[in-house]
Amino acid sequence: MIRRIRWPLGWLVLLALASQGAAQEPAPAQENAPARLRVGDVLPPLAGVDLAGRPVTLKDLAGDGAVVLSFWSVHCRDCVRELDDLRLVGREFRGEDLTLVAVNTDSGLPVNRIAGFVRRYEAARGPLGVAHLLDRDAAILRSLGIRYIPLLVVADRTGRITALVSGYRQGDRERLGRALEEGTVALGAWGTGLRARLVTLLRSQGAGGGVEWGSFRVEAELPRFGLYDASGWIADPVGRADREAESRRVEGVVADRLRVALAQEALASVGVRLPGPDAAARAGEGIRVPESPLAGDGRWARLYADLEFDGLYREEDRQALWTGDVYRAGMVGDVDLGRLRAKLKDLEFPTKPSTIRLEVVTDFDFKARAVLEELRRVSYRLQQVRGEDLIYYGTPGQLAAEIRGLSLGLRIFAEPQGEDRVRVELF
């Protein structure tokens, strides 16, 4: 949600008078932009008061270091939600020459009410660990031309603005792109929380210059598998009543599911959208016990290994709990998207799939079905099957090579036919 700044009536009158005197000057472009600021501008001197009502300047709070300004209001729900993320970011970048400043825009509220709001919030959630700058006369809003909050302004040690982020809503890339202007951040990598955006911004301005980082939050859950009675789980499928062993197995499977979910989210952020691992399902007259998606030679195990994904991310947070017989876990991971793109390039993996028609010649239809089932299981390039058409991240030549490599005990001949067809003969 984006909250438009409501200017006090007195300031509206002053602005109207000022606009009459400046009628000859061109109006600033991008009327939908969150502020008059642009990436590359230099922050002007900013002054206000602290939570005790004492005069303070941005220079007093940040010195000569880099600064992140987060503009908020007690009436802006999205702004308040992001205060908790500010605390996490402060912990993560503690010890670095960086100051986080929460800039309150409620010039019409008494200072003690804003300070009381912050005290109540910290009593419930813990210390925020940020500096506070209260804009009492809307001077900061006017000098920066701020129109919407929440707004994030990131400036380097020289005071040059390196990024502007306005109340991000997932999928609203066009507006965010206008706000970022010439920023180097990968838009698709951003989560909806402030921490994800800020970590991405700060790491994108590292010594490497064009580094792309994405921060993702993923979750997974799985119950103990086996036999149940009215009191809950009693044994695994073969009758072993070792609750501790079954709990360890479930926790291991969930941990691997989180890693695969992180890889799936990161790939989607760079344009590669793949179906998730297959869920456990019935197999004939028995059952298939849920297994790790990274075990065996399935498609996600292969892709994870080929990408060497363990070396592409770092885990920033993990939380888990058992509720009855169900294990639930969540993880926040930061992925090096620049290296991920390079890995995909090495694998000749395009970011857009192609539609390839499969022409199959066989004496029995079950052989064709067996080929498609095995291809779904092992090929991470296969996104979807639509009748005779395969939605595939690759060329007909790559698809034909994958089909020839299937281990099915069949004589398989597969050759590309032009740019969008593969002929397969099965005997």
pLDDT, tens digit, for every residue of 119-163? 988 888 788 888 999 999 889 988 888 877 777 788 888 888 877
Q: Which pLDDT does position 39 carry in this prediction?
A: 73
Contacts of 29 (CB under 8 A, 6+ apart): none
Token pair of 291 as six digits: 């297994």
Measured N-to-C along each axis, helices 299-307 and 243-269 cross at an angle, to the nearest 10 degrees, of 60
Checking 225-231 for CB contacts under 8 A at 24+ apart, the result is 225/250, 225/280, 225/289, 225/290, 228/325
Count of helices and strands (H, E) across the chain: 12, 21
Cα–Cα distance measured from residue 223 to residue 279, given in angstroms and rounded to the nearest whole number? 13
Residue with tokens 């009758």: 239
Phi, psi of 68 (to 5 degrees): -120, 120
Q: Of the candidates 64, 45, 62, which has an alpha carbon nearest to the alpha carbon of residue 131?
A: 62
- Lowest mean pLDDT, pick from 16-30, 41-55, 116-130, 333-347: 16-30
At residue 399 the predicted structure's pLDDT band, cuts being 50, 70 and 90, is very high
How high is the mean pLDDT of the chain? 79
Token pair of 309 as six digits: 């994904």
pTM of the model as a whole: 0.59
- pLDDT over 90 for what percent of the chain? 40
Residue with tokens 């892709």: 303
The three-class DSSP label of residue 229 is strand
Phi, psi of 277 (to 5 degrees): -60, 150
- Lowest mean pLDDT, pick from 219-233, 362-376, 380-394: 219-233
Segment 103-118 shows an average pLDDT of 92
Cα–Cα distance measured from residue 427 to residue 424, given in angstroms and rounded to the nearest whole number? 10
Cα–Cα distance measured from residue 384 to residue 396, given in angstroms and rounded to the nearest whole number? 15
Query: Are 281 and 246 within 8 A, CB to CB?
Result: no
Q: Which pLDDT does position 115 carry in this prediction?
A: 94
Q: Which pLDDT does position 287 carry in this prediction?
A: 62
**pLDDT over threshold 60, residue 183:** no
Q: How many residues does the chain have?
A: 427
Cα 119 from chain centroid (whole Å): 30
Cα–Cα distance measured from residue 105 to residue 391, given in angstroms and rounded to the nearest whole number? 50
Distances (CA, A) of 352 to 29, 149, 273, 412: 34, 35, 9, 28
Q: Which ranges in 57-215 belong to alpha helices (H)? A: 58-62, 77-92, 111-125, 139-144, 173-180, 194-204
Buried b / exposed e across 280-309, counting CB within 10 Å, b at 16+?
A: eeeeeeeeeebbbbbeeebbbbbbbeebeb
